[in-house]
């Protein structure tokens, strides 16, 4: 059981020749994929056993995406959220009551219903395959089966299946939405499917299957298809273009709506607040600063950048101090580092230093963060009247405990430079014996 | 300070380029008596025409400008390149996005300041640029450190591709919010020496084809 647990789940792989069955199986069993494929082909000659096995796996095994989707879909169904998440029931009088204990019964029922809908197609196909197997067995026992009709029909069905495989669950949404069947493999499969269907139809129609007739019919049908394509192509193109234009317009509209909504929630609200508080310069500056910061981070947000790294945390601490005191706190950071407990201490100490700078110093507070392979340093500078670090009373815990003590406990150092022109607190956190050397240079935040 | 007071006799002629009339008039009121605003422009075309006509010493140039081919401040600097010897550009922006700032510096601006800068500070910056020096805000110094790396130049390195140990020190102090005067005091050198270092860094920023810098720029869609 344990070894089975360690295997990757059996899913159809996206790295596929036909349906990804062999690569999926190879991943699951941990065998080289080419042996699996070879074995499958060899088995196919043994009375079609390989083919049947392949088809069976194809039908029964979901692709990785489908599997993930199914697993996530089960607990909370979008169709019946109130049934699949029965923690609360809305009573007619508007209140929410906990569900009585008999709840699991309808839940189970709905779960089975969902399952049946999900696998309905597969069960149908499975039945078809069983039929094929029955025919094969019947032939073995000498029962006469009209193969002349069945094989073309099977070819048509198979061709259609291959062509429609484009649209299996994962792709259907994408195809309808983006019509991105432009991958080469997709076209190849589509063409193979079409060829199979056409061949099947021809053989079926011409009945006997003599080559002469087949060729003639083939030529005729190609001519007809070509003519139809010639007539319909301009229409199709025009339709396609209209669709594209409409889609682009819709995307633009959505974007505009999103921007409008954001501006409404942020900028317009702030402007209204500023008008109401026009009397208080302090409030106006604070509101304008906070709004500027918010808008900036929205406009220039970098999707690739991980939140929760050191630079981001320092910037967040600066924003907090700015809001609390109404003083501008400018952060410049170079490099970045992954957060650890020690970096957490650095952020807290830096925040305390920023609080002090904003409280006692005048004007803007400058914060500079530099992270490199050797460690992280934070400089907090204000333009206040300065103070004597040695003359700070013992009971004032701000500097002694929150900054110096905290940094020392985590192996860091603190240097405080204070003169009449301002104070600079310098926090240094060296890297711990090369184990936390995961700095990220070139990731600096502007 | 002596260098600054000598300027009083000869006012620095400045053109302000910004698409917001309110901001232009506010800035004009903020600039002190050492500075003479001789022209204004609101679009790329206007700016190029006004600069060619009045030949100012310094152009205060907004990074984002309407008109032209959409290149904003960069386009103005490019079109005014025949005046490069006599006219300097000081970039001015609300945006502190790296791509905007570094793009305009690499186009040839002598410095960059944000629009929230105070009146006396921007006046000093204009005088400094008029004197041929560079003006770095803390944020620009941060970008430079980020792009060039924070370790000093080795012997084998191309001179343009790394900052010297001294230049790194100066950039670090500017990033920490020190004024040029404070940097000079901290490093026991003269203000003039600080200005020389900053100008050298500016030159490297403009000319370097350092692999990391181009990669850094490409990541931010600069080049």
Residue spans of the domains in chain A: they are 2-86+99-202, 210-301, 309-440
Is B120 at the interface with chain A, CB within 8 A? no
Domain boundary among B101, B133, B165: B133
The CATH number assigned to the domain holding B158 equals 1.10.10.10
* Average pLDDT estimate for B70-92: 82
User: Do A366 and B98 make contact, defined as CB atoms within 8 angstroms?
Assistant: no
Taking 70 as the threshold, does the pLDDT of residue A92 lie above it? Answer: no
A343-363 pLDDT per residue, tens: 888 888 898 888 888 888 767
Per DSSP (E only), the strands in A316-444 are: 329-334, 336-337, 365-372, 375-382, 413-419, 422-430, 439-440
- The confidence score (pLDDT) of residue B42 equals 87
| Averaged confidence pLDDT in chain A | 73
User: Do A444 and B146 make contact, defined as CB atoms within 8 angstroms?
Assistant: yes
Same domain, B114 and B208: no
A112-130 pLDDT per residue, tens: 444 444 566 677 788 888 8
Same domain, B17 and B113: yes
- The confidence score (pLDDT) of residue A6 equals 61
Domain boundary among B133, B153, B169: B133
User: Do A441 and B149 make contact, defined as CB atoms within 8 angstroms?
Assistant: yes
User: Do B177 and A446 make contact, defined as CB atoms within 8 angstroms?
Assistant: no
Lowest mean pLDDT among A203-217, A316-330, A351-365: A203-217
A371-406 pLDDT per residue, tens: 888 888 999 988 877 777 666 666 666 677 788 888
- The confidence score (pLDDT) of residue A1 equals 42
Same domain, B22 and B98: yes
CB B147 within 8 A of CB B216: yes
Same domain, B117 and B21: yes
Structure tokens belonging to residue B171 = 């950039």
User: Do A446 and B97 make contact, defined as CB atoms within 8 angstroms?
Assistant: yes
Instruction: Suggest the residue from B176, B182, B183 to mutate for an interface test with chain A (most A CBs closer than 10 A).
Output: B176
Per DSSP (E only), the strands in A188-244 are: none
Taking 80 as the threshold, does the pLDDT of residue A310 lie above it? Answer: yes
- Across A168-172, A179-183, A320-324, A436-440, the highest mean pLDDT is recorded for A320-324
Domain residue limits at B195? 139-219
- The confidence score (pLDDT) of residue B188 equals 92
Q: Give the burial class of B145: count Cβ atoms within 10 A of its Cβ; 0-12 exposed, 13-18 middle, 19 or more buried.
A: buried
A170-183 pLDDT per residue, tens: 454 454 444 444 45
- The confidence score (pLDDT) of residue B154 equals 58
Q: How confident is the model at residue A315 (pLDDT cuts 50, 70, 90)?
A: confident
* Average pLDDT estimate for B156-175: 79
344-373 of A, contacting B, C-beta below 8 A: 364, 366, 368, 370, 372
Per DSSP, B83 falls in state G
Q: Which residue in B127, B223, B139 sits closest to B175, CA to CA?
A: B139
Taking 50 as the threshold, does the pLDDT of residue A4 lie above it? Answer: no
- The confidence score (pLDDT) of residue A103 equals 42
Contact list, B168 vs chain A (CB under 8 Å): none
Q: How confident is the model at residue A205 (pLDDT cuts 50, 70, 90)?
A: low
Q: How confident is the model at residue A17 (pLDDT cuts 50, 70, 90)?
A: confident
* Average pLDDT estimate for B72-79: 83
User: Do B139 and A296 make contact, defined as CB atoms within 8 angstroms?
Assistant: no
SS3 B38: strand
Of B97, B149, B177, the CB nearest to A366: B177
Taking 60 as the threshold, does the pLDDT of residue B142 lie above it? Answer: yes
B12-44 pLDDT per residue, tens: 899 999 888 888 888 888 888 888 888 888 888
A19-30 pLDDT per residue, tens: 778 888 888 888
Strand partners, B14: B37, B58
CB A427 within 8 A of CB A317: no
- The confidence score (pLDDT) of residue A183 equals 57
Same domain, B121 and B143: no
Same domain, B192 and B146: yes
Contact list, B144 vs chain A (CB under 8 Å): none
Is A335 at the interface with chain B, CB within 8 A? yes
State what percent of residues in chain A have pLDDT above 70: 69
Instruction: Give the Cα separation of A420 and A124 in Å (integer).
Output: 85
**How many independent structural domains does chain B possess?**
2
Minimum CA–CA partner of A295 in chain B: B95
Domain boundary among B80, B110, B133: B133
The CATH number assigned to the domain holding B28 equals 3.40.50.2300
CB contacts < 8 A (A, B): 62
Q: Which residue in B122, B120, B7, B139 sits closest to B61, CA to CA?
A: B122
Instruction: Give the Cα separation of B65 and B71 in Å (integer).
Output: 8
A179 to chain B, minimum CA–CA distance in Å? Answer: 29
Is A333 at the interface with chain B, CB within 8 A? yes
Q: Which residues have a Cβ under 8 Å from the Cβ of B8 and sit 6 or more positions away? A: B33, B34
- The confidence score (pLDDT) of residue A379 equals 92
- The confidence score (pLDDT) of residue A115 equals 47
- The confidence score (pLDDT) of residue A219 equals 85
Buried b or exposed e, range B73-110, using 16+ CB within 10 angstroms: bbbbbebbeebeeebbbbbbbbbbbbbbbbbbbbbbbb
Structure tokens belonging to residue A169 = 């669950």
- The confidence score (pLDDT) of residue B205 equals 83
Strand partners, A98: A88
C-alpha distance across the termini of chain B, in Å: 39
- The confidence score (pLDDT) of residue B189 equals 92
A309-440, CATH topology level? Heat Shock Protein 90 (3.30.565)
Q: How confident is the model at residue A70 (pLDDT cuts 50, 70, 90)?
A: low
* CA-derived radius of gyration, chain B: 17
* Average pLDDT estimate for A226-250: 88
Look up the ipTM and state it: 0.78
- The confidence score (pLDDT) of residue B159 equals 63
């Amino acid at each position: 059981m344990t070894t089975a647990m360690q295997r990757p789940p059996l899913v159809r792989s996206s790295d596929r020749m036909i349906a990804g069955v062999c690569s999926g199986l190879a991943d699951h069993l941990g065998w080289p994929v080419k042996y699996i494929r070879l074995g499958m082909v060899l088995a196919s000659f043994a009375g079609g056993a390989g083919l049947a096995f392949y088809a069976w796996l194809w039908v029964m095994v979901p692709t990785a995406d489908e599997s993930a989707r199914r697993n996530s879909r089960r607990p909370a169904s979008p169709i019946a959220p109130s049934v699949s998440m029965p923690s609360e029931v809305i009573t007619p009088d508007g209140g929410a009551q906990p569900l009585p204990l008999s709840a699991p019964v309808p839940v189970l029922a709905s779960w089975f219903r969902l399952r049946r809908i999900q696998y309905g197609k597969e069960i149908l196909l499975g039945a078809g395959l069983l039929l094929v197997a029955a025919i094969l067995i019947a032939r073995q026992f000498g029962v006469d089966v009209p193969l002349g009709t069945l094989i073309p029909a099977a070819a048509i069905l198979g061709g259609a299946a291959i062509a429609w495989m484009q649209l299996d669950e994962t792709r259907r949404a994408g195809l309808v939405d983006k019509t991105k069947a432009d991958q080469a493999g997709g076209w190849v499969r589509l063409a193979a499917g079409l060829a199979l269907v056409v061949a099947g139809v021809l053989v079926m129609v011409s009945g006997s299957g003599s080559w002469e007739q087949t060729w003639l019919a083939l030529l005729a049908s190609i001519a007809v298809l070509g003519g139809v394509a010639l007539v319909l192509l301009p229409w199709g193109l025009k339709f396609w273009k209209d669709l594209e234009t409409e889609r682009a317009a819709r995307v633009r509209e959505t974007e505009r709506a999103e921007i409008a909504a954001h501006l409404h929630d942020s900028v317009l609200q702030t402007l209204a607040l500023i008008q109401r508080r026009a009397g208080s310069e302090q409030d106006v500056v604070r509101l304008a600063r906070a709004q500027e910061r918010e808008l900036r981070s929205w406009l220039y947000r970098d999707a690739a950048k991980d939140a929760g790294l050191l630079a981001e945390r320092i910037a967040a601490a600066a924003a907090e101090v700015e809001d609390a005191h109404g003083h501008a706190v400018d952060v410049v950071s170079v490099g970045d580092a992954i957060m650890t407990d020690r970096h957490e201490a650095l952020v807290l100490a830096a925040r305390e230093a920023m609080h002090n700078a904003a409280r006692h110093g005048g004007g803007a507070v400058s914060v500079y963060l530099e992270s490199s392979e050797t460690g992280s340093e934070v400089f907090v500078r204000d333009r206040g009247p300065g103070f004597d670090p040695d003359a700070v009373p013992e009971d004032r815990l701000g500097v002694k405990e929150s900054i110096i003590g905290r940094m020392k406990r985590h192996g860091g150092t603190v240097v405080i430079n204070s003169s009449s022109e301002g104070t600079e607190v310098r926090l240094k956190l060296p890297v711990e014996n090369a184990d936390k050397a995961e700095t990220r240079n070139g990731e600096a935040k502007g | 300070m002596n260098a600054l007071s000598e300027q009083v006799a000869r006012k620095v002629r400045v053109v302000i380029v910004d698409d917001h009339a309110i901001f232009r008039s506010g800035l004009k009121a903020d600039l002190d008596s050492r500075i003479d605003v001789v022209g204004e422009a609101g679009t790329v075309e206007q700016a190029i025409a006004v600069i060619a006509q009045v030949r100012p010493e310094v152009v205060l140039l907004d990074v984002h400008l309407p008109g032209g081919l959409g290149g904003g401040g960069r386009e103005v600097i490019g079109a005014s390149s025949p005046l490069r010897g006599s006219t300097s550009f000081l970039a001015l922006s609300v945006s502190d996005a790296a791509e905007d700032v570094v793009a305009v510096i690499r186009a040839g601006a002598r410095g960059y300041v944000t629009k929230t800068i105070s009146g006396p500070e921007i006046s000093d910056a204009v005088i400094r640029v008029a004197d041929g020096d560079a003006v770095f805000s803390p944020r620009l110094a941060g970008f430079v450190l980020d792009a060039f790396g924070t370790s000093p130049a080795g012997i084998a390195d191309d001179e343009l591709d790394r900052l010297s140990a001294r230049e790194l020190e100066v950039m670090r102090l500017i990033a920490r919010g020190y004024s040029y005067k404070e940097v000079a005091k901290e490093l026991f050198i003269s203000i003039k020496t600080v200005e020389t270092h900053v100008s050298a860094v500016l030159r490297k920023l403009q000319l370097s084809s350092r692999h990391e810098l181009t990669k850094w720029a490409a990541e931010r869609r600069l080049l």
